[in-house]
Amino acid sequence: MTDPIKSLRTGPDAPPFLIAGPCVIEDRDTCLRIAEFLTRLTRKEGVPYIFKASYDKANRTSIGSFRGPGSDEGLRILEEIRREFGVPVISDIHSPEQAKSAAEVLDYVQIPALLCRQTDLIVAAAKTGKPVNIKKGQFLAPWDMENIVQKARSAGNGQVLLTERGTAFGYNNLVVDMRSMGIMKETGCPVIFDATHSVQLPGGQGNKSGGDRRQAPPLAKAAIAAGADGLFMETHFDPDNALCDGPNSVTFEMMEALLPQIVAIKAIVDGGGIA
């Protein structure tokens, strides 16, 4: 079937789609370099691609954490990436007041996990008419997302995506329940698995979060096998020196190795085998 969500195809015989980019807009050149790599790779593998980077990370661990360039400069960079590479762009908003101006540039509006129950924020995002990707809070069960989907639909927007990004598992740790993919798909929304935030260790380094990027590829493969329609993966050419979420971001080399495997797994799940 074809979704109303920007012509993304989901279900049997549809390729997995990818939302990826740096966690935050560090600068124009970094974003362009990452977008160029991911655009080239996804086109080679036949994977629909959406570029993601945050222009303002309002939910960082520390007051001293890098937040990004802000909305004006950040949206200009995202608009340039869309124009230069011909790919849709997505970023997150943190208040209802940001929705209208962000939607003038963004192809998709994203709701951060920690804000996924904020009714006014969801309704404002939905009222833009743009597809809305809502990340499941680390504190929620997958079936809790039905009520959140209804908030967006109440605003007349049926273009909703849901993203699984792990569940709080004690202090400074997350765990992934693969049953979440199928449960959230019962809402009728495409489901995405955020493989890199799911291996984050929130606040695990005192004044910043830690993570273990080595675990992202196996979890990504498991999620596609469990029925996820697409993946969300923070990607960086030098994650050890990234300004945000470096420990859980994957390298270019990891993404090059993973993407063909993801395509093959999706084909097997759909019953078509490997071509």
Q: What is the chain's pLDDT, residue by residue, as a tens digit (275 residues)?
A: 444 465 677 877 889 999 999 999 999 999 999 999 999 999 999 999 999 999 988 776 678 788 888 999 999 999 999 999 999 999 999 999 999 999 999 999 999 999 999 999 999 999 999 999 999 999 999 999 999 999 999 999 999 999 999 999 999 899 999 999 999 999 999 999 999 999 998 876 655 667 799 999 999 999 999 999 999 999 999 999 999 889 999 999 999 999 999 999 999 998 865 54
Residue 275 burial (CB count, 10 A): 6
Query: What pLDDT is recorded for position 274?
Result: 56
Q: Which residue has the tokens 């011909």?
A: 86
Contacts of 63 (CB under 8 A, 6+ apart): none
Beta strands 167-168 and 49-52 are unpaired
Query: What pLDDT is recorded for position 2?
Result: 43
What is the phi-psi region of residue 4: left when phi exceeds 0, alpha when psi lies from -120 to 50, beta otherwise?
alpha
Decide: residue 92, CB within 10 A, 0-12 exposed, 13-18 middle, 19+ buried.
buried
pLDDT 10s digits, 214-253: 999 999 999 999 999 999 999 999 999 999 889 999 999 9
CB contact at 8 A, 112 and 94? yes
Residue 230 burial (CB count, 10 A): 27
Distance CA 95, CA 217 (A): 32
Distance CA 80, CA 73 (A): 11
- Rg of the Cα trace of the chain? 17
Query: What pLDDT is recorded for position 67?
Result: 85
Distance CA 34, CA 71 (A): 20
Query: What pLDDT is recorded for position 206?
Result: 57
Query: What pLDDT is recorded for position 1?
Result: 40
CB contact at 8 A, 160 and 141? no
The answer as to CATH 3.20.20.70 being correct for domain 17-269 is: yes
Distance CA 103, CA 126 (A): 10
Decide: residue 64, CB within 10 A, 0-12 exposed, 13-18 middle, 19+ buried.
exposed
Specify the DSSP class assigned to residue 201: E
DSSP letter for each residue of 97-132: GGHHHHHTT-SEEEE-GGGTT-HHHHHHHHHT-S-E
Distance CA 48, CA 88 (A): 10
Distance CA 273, CA 153 (A): 36
